[in-house]
């Protein structure tokens, strides 16, 4: 069954007629086949061994409902269908969706398949136990957080990403690629690198190497306000190799914290002390947890939780009230 949903994506661009006239050589799109659309970041996974490896890593059960993002012509889909109860795929390109529909037509798995044509970032997601995705690389971060925010929580996701993005997801404190993305995703999920995938496994080959990661949401989710958490991490990782004390002394940060502090006081009918000095108050928070000389690049999520809790207890907020 194919259902159409409104679809749009910022990465889609129109090729002007002047450019078409200028470049008369066969493009990568034309040599890859009539279904390929480079503007949508389409790279079809062609190696059956890699396909089998991805599906095996999902440990599918016969009772599972599976969500697949960007199925393309269905090379992974046809391996998922015999192993699950239901498969919902979200495909941006109607031509790809039609190709997949034809591929399963008349088979025993046809009734298991639901095809949604639309932008993954805009469609409503159904219930699913497992997600598998050959992710359009331009939406990697947005896709990851949409999945992690989905409720009810799912069991695991097997996701293909550009190699560097995947390595950021699993990076640990002190490593070069450790960043705000690393800390945010690891707060919400356990992430493991499971497979490298070379560019020649795709048609046409992308310009970058790829990796597959396994993501398992933390259940229950950590009892933390994610907006406050991310607001603090934006500041810390903006200068991740500086000491936290130096990071929090910037005028912009101090003005934001003072504004939010006074707003919280006003909302809760609390008088702001006449001698309130935001710089001294922030330093007092850092001293209370012994982190003045710490650097975000080497702090783990337990450190961040401890620091955020101290700021909240002192009346500070990192998002607008």
Q: Tokens 């936290």 — which residue?
A: 244
313 among the known binding-site residues? no
119 among the known binding-site residues? yes
45 among the known binding-site residues? yes
DSSP 13: -
Beta strand 202-203 pairing with 44-45: antiparallel
* Cα torsion 165, 167, 168, 169: sign: positive
23 among the known binding-site residues? no
70 among the known binding-site residues? yes
User: Nearest 10 degrees: CA dihedral of 29, 32, 33, 37?
Assistant: -40
109 among the known binding-site residues? no
Binding residue numbers for S-adenosyl-L-methionine: 43, 45, 70, 91, 119, 134
Binding residue numbers: 43, 45, 70, 91, 119, 134
């Amino acid at each position: 069954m194919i259902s159409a949903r409104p679809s749009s994506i910022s990465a889609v661009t129109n090729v002007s007629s002047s450019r078409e006239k200028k470049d008369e050589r066969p493009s990568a799109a034309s040599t890859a086949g009539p279904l390929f659309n480079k503007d949508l970041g389409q790279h079809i996974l062609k190696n059956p061994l890699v396909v089998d490896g991805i599906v095996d890593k999902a440990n599918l059960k016969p009772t599972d409902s599976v969500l697949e993002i960007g199925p393309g012509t269905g090379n992974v889909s046809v391996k998922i269908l015999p192993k699950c109860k239901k498969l919902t795929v979200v495909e941006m390109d109607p031509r790809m969706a039609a190709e997949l529909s034809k591929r399963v037509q008349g088979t025993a798995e046809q009734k298991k398949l639901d095809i949604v044509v639309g932008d993954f970032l805009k469609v409503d997601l159904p219930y699913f136990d497992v997600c598998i995705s050959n992710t359009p690389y331009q939406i990697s971060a947005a896709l990851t957080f949409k999945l992690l925010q989905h409720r009810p929580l799912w069991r695991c996701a097997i996701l293909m990403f550009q190699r560097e993005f995947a390595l950021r997801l699993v990076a640990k404190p002190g490593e070069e690629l450790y960043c705000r993305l690393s800390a945010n995703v690891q707060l919400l999920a356990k992430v493991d690198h499971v497979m490298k995938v070379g560019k020649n496994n795709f048609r046409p080959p992308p310009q970058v190497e790829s990796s597959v990661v396994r993501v398992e949401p933390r259940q229950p989710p950590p009892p933390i306000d994610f907006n406050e958490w991310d607001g603090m991490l934006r500041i810390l990782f903006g200068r991740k190799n500086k000491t936290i004390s130096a990071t929090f002394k910037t005028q912009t940060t101090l003005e934001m914290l003072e504004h939010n502090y006074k707003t919280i006081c006003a909302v809760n009918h609390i008088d702001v002390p006449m001698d309130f000095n935001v710089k001294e108050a922030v330093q007092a928070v850092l001293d209370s947890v012994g982190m003045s000389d710490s650097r975000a690049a080497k702090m783990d999520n337990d450190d961040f939780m401890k620091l955020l809790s101290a700021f909240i207890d002192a009346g500070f907020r990192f998002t607008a009230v």
